[in-house]
């Protein structure tokens, strides 16, 4: 990895760029030395269809002029802007700097709009049509890649339109999740549970908790193991714990797949999930607006229909 951080590559790219430009200038100078005399133009020796001969005509002056202008422009650009390896150029321009400028300008233009909603509680913001429209655009640009454009998620990505929340569904919980992100971890528990048949029994018990199709005799055998090994996180009632983000296993909502096979795989291999923090990417006002929108998806009925518009 250190090879890619070496200054050699900066010099290498700079050399290629400069050699290319000066090679063009040299080629232009060499070809300009070829002068025709007495109107006679030499042949290149290439002939097609018996009588179509390629002649070695000198470049027109306007074409030569364009070459010269291009070379001068290229050198001027490389002097002012980044293009020679790690050299930032005399103007110090960068795509990141330009992006930050645009972001700052956009934030300044939107500040009066956000100020209006910053003075309202999140529940009220979630019910405001203008705020919902802004929140929906923020969601589409920043959240839909994982949770889907309809916010109903997919395998491994939570559905945000129901009332099932790993870390709590209050507005402040959602705002904290968006701001700081979440790191969820289910450790592999097969060794603690016991034999493969014990793991299957626990899986059957988990299925029975939500009245999903299961084998009653096997589920009964798995109950004691569940309480001993899994109850510490999911609770003795298996309703989960929002403080640590453990799932409620008594409903019929399955984030990583349903059925014995999916549950056995979870017990054997565990699972690590990450919700990236948006702090630094979005402003505080944008996070608050997005939090209101997400909270409204499962608490303000009218927002459900707006996702499909």
The answer to whether residues 68 and 13 belong to one domain is yes
Instruction: Assess if residue 282 is contained within a domain.
Output: yes
Task: Show Cβ contacts of residue 31 under 8 Å, excluding neighbours closer than 6 positions.
Answer: 58, 59
Q: d(Cα 156, Cα 289) in Å, to the nearest integer?
A: 25
- Are 193 and 267 in contact by the 8 Å Cβ rule? The answer is yes
| Tokens coding 41 | 């133009």
Q: d(Cα 17, Cα 89) in Å, to the nearest integer?
A: 14
Q: Helix 196-209 to helix 216-225 angle, to the nearest 10 degrees?
A: 100
Instruction: Assess if residue 41 is contained within a domain.
Output: no
The residue to which tokens 């405001």 are assigned:
128
Give tens-digit pLDDT for 106-127: 888 888 989 999 999 999 999 9
The answer to whether residues 114 and 250 belong to one domain is no
Whether the pLDDT of residue 307 is over 60: the answer is no
pLDDT at position 56, please?
A: 74
The answer to whether residues 122 and 86 belong to one domain is no
The answer to whether residues 165 and 295 belong to one domain is yes
For residue 228, what is the domain's CATH number?
1.10.760.10
Instruction: Assess if residue 100 is contained within a domain.
Output: no
Whether the pLDDT of residue 197 is over 60: the answer is yes
Q: For 115-144, what is the mean pLDDT? A: 94
pLDDT at position 304, please?
A: 45
Residues 225-258 as b/e (b if ≥16 CB within 10 A, e otherwise) read bbeebbeeebbeebebeeeebbbbbbbeebbeeb
Of 113, 263, 273, nearest in space to 202 by CA: 263
| Tokens coding 207 | 């299925």
The answer to whether residues 230 and 291 belong to one domain is no
Instruction: Assess if residue 198 is contained within a domain.
Output: yes
Least confident of 40-54, 58-72, 229-243, 289-303: 40-54
The answer to whether residues 283 and 255 belong to one domain is no
The answer to whether residues 225 and 286 belong to one domain is no
Instruction: Assess if residue 241 is contained within a domain.
Output: yes
The answer to whether residues 16 and 148 belong to one domain is no
Instruction: Assess if residue 205 is contained within a domain.
Output: yes
Give tens-digit pLDDT for 47-105: 888 888 887 777 788 988 999 999 999 999 999 999 888 888 999 899 999 988 998 89
Mean pLDDT across the chain: 89
| Domain count within the chain | 3
Instruction: Assess if residue 38 is contained within a domain.
Output: no
- Are 265 and 271 in contact by the 8 Å Cβ rule? The answer is no
The answer to whether residues 271 and 259 belong to one domain is yes
Least confident of 97-106, 189-198, 259-268: 97-106
The residue to which tokens 């430009």 are assigned:
21
Instruction: Assess if residue 222 is contained within a domain.
Output: yes
The answer to whether residues 255 and 211 belong to one domain is yes
The residue to which tokens 């795989």 are assigned:
265
E-assigned strand segments in 57-118: none
Question: Alpha-carbon torsion 169, 171, 174, 180, what sign?
Answer: negative
Q: How many CB atoms lie within 10 A of CB 165?
A: 18
pLDDT at position 36, please?
A: 59
The answer to whether residues 140 and 288 belong to one domain is yes
C-alpha dist (Å) from residue 274 to 171, 292, 298: 20, 21, 22
Q: d(Cα 140, Cα 147) in Å, to the nearest integer?
A: 10
Tell me the three state secondary structure of residue 25: helix
Whether the pLDDT of residue 309 is over 60: the answer is no
Question: Which domain does 163 fall in, by range?
Answer: 107-181+276-306
- Are 289 and 121 in contact by the 8 Å Cβ rule? The answer is no
The answer to whether residues 285 and 244 belong to one domain is no
């Amino acid at each position: 990895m250190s090879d890619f951080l070496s200054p050699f590559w900066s010099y290498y790219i700079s050399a290629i760029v400069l050699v290319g430009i000066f090679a063009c200038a040299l080629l232009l100078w060499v070809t300009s030395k070829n002068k025709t005399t007495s109107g006679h133009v030499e042949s290149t020796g290439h002939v097609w269809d018996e009588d179509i001969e390629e002649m070695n005509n000198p470049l027109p002056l306007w074409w030569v002029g364009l070459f010269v202008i291009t070379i001068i422009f290229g050198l001027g650009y490389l002097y002012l802007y980044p293009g020679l390896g790690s050299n930032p150029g005399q103007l110090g321009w960068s795509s990141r700097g330009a992006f930050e400028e645009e972001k700052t300008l956009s934030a300044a233009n939107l500040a009066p709009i956000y100020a209006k909603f910053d003075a309202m509680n999140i529940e009220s913001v979630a019910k405001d049509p203008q705020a919902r429209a802004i929140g929906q655009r923020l969601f589409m640009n920043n959240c839909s890649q994982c949770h889907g454009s309809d916010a109903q998620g997919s395998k491994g990505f939570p559905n945000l339109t129901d009332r099932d929340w790993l870390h709590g569904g209050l507005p402040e919980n959602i705002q904290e999740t968006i701001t700081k992100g979440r790191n969820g971890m289910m450790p592999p528990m097969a060794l603690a549970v016991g034999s493969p048949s014990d793991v299957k029994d626990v899986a059957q018990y988990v299925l029975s908790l939500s009245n999903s199709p299961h084998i009653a005799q096997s589920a009964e055998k798995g109950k004691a193991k569940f309480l001993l090994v899994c109850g510490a996180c999911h609770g003795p009632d298996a309703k989960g714990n929002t403080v640590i983000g453990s799932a409620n296993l008594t409903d019929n909502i399955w984030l990583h797949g349903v059925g014995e096979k999916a549950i056995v795989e979870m017990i054997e291999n565990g699972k690590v999930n990450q919700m990236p923090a948006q702090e630094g990417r979005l402003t505080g006002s944008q996070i608050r607006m997005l939090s209101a929108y997400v909270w409204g998806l499962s608490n303000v009925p009218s927002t459900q229909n707006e996702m499909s518009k």
